[in-house]
Amino acid sequence: MERLDKILANTGRWSRKEARALIRAGRVTVDGTTASAPEEKADPAARFAVDGEPISGEKLVYLMLHKPAGLVSATEDPRQPTVLTLLPEHLRRVGLFPAGRLDRDTEGLLLLTNDGPLAHRLLAPRRHVDKTYFVRVDGVLDASDAAAFAGGMTLADGLVCLPAGLEILEEPGTGLVTLQEGKYHQIKRMLAARGKPVVYLKRLTMGPLSLDPALEKGAWRPLTAEELSALRSV
Ligand code: URA
């Protein structure tokens, strides 16, 4: 059980002071009963409403995950294990979802959150939040591939791509791809169109977030305060 003003403030929607004012004004209900005192205790999993509008009493959570291959970026899947199976039971019940998808065989940075508005902002196509990937192809990447990426490719299957970055790395067949969008199988499709199929793909960054090199595959940690504030200002 927690204080009601704290539960409301934990949602990130109101300050503690605003939450107290809402409660004192009789605008908050807990499981259908109007609350009157901010110090009242409630179960954070109870049903809360403000002015009759339901809100989740659950805390906003932001996790950085090093996604391994073999898991789908979804909250549920009828056939395959999802990235949520990597989390302990208590974190599977707070409404987390992956903010953006990686293919089942793609590894790397995945943000898991229950902050819908923030995820929506990050993923909105018009915001062009950059994502960087390490890629290995079957073949050799060269300047003509980088030029094609930079020019914005239109694929035979109709996919129109915004200009993308390709930095060729020393190890033959490897590079860093920067996309400002995230269409279905985009890197695989762009490189297949260049005749250089992707054999390995790992996301390294998303906007201001970089995959923490200390996170092993399958491991996760909460975002730091700095990471969260950088994300919020995207
Ligand atoms: N592009 C892809 O092809 N797959 C991913 O998972 C991400 C970007």
pLDDT in tens, 176-185: 999 999 999 9
Q: Determine the straight-line distance between the first and last CA of the chain, rounded to whole angstroms.
A: 35
How far, in Å, is the centroid of ligand 1 from the Cα of 71? 14
Cβ distance 129 to 164 under 8 Å?
no
Q: Tens digits of per-residue pLDDT, 190-213?
A: 999 999 999 999 999 999 999 999
Options 3.40.50.150, 3.10.20.740, 3.10.290.10, 3.90.660.10; CATH of 2-55 = 3.10.290.10
Nearest atom within ligand 1 for CA of residue 182: 8
Q: What is the pLDDT of residue 117?
A: 85
Say how many Å lie between the CA of residue 188 and the centre of ligand 1: 6
CATH superfamily of 130-206: Alpha-L RNA-binding motif (3.30.70.1560)
Residues of the chain with CATH 3.30.70.1560: 130-206
CATH 3.90.1150.110 assigned to domain 62-125+209-232? The reply is: no
For residue 62, report the phi and psi dihedrals to the nearest 5 degrees: -135, 115
Give the C-alpha distances (Å, rounded to integers) separating 152 from 78, 102, 161, 188.
36, 21, 5, 15
From the CA of 198, give the closest atom in ligand 1.
3
Minimal-distance CA residue to ligand 1 atom 2: 185
% of the chain exceeding 70 in pLDDT: 98
**Residue intervals in the chain for CATH 3.10.290.10:** 2-55
CA-nearest residue, atom 4 of ligand 1: 185
> Does the C-beta of 206 come closer than 6 Å to ligand 1?
no
For residue 203, the ligand 1 atom closest to its alpha carbon is: 7
Asked whether 183 lines ligand 1 (CB < 6 A), one says no
Low-confidence ranges of the chain (pLDDT < 70): 12, 56-58
- Quick check: is 103 catalytic? yes
Q: What is the DSSP letter of 160?
A: B
Ligand 1: centre distance to CA 127 (Å): 19
Comma-separated ranges of CATH 3.30.70.580 domains in the chain: 62-125+209-232
> 183-195 pLDDT, tens per residue?
999 999 999 999 9
Among 77, 103, 105, 212, which one carries the catalytic annotation? 103
Res 44: pLDDT: 84
Dist. CA 187 → ligand 1 center (Å)? 5
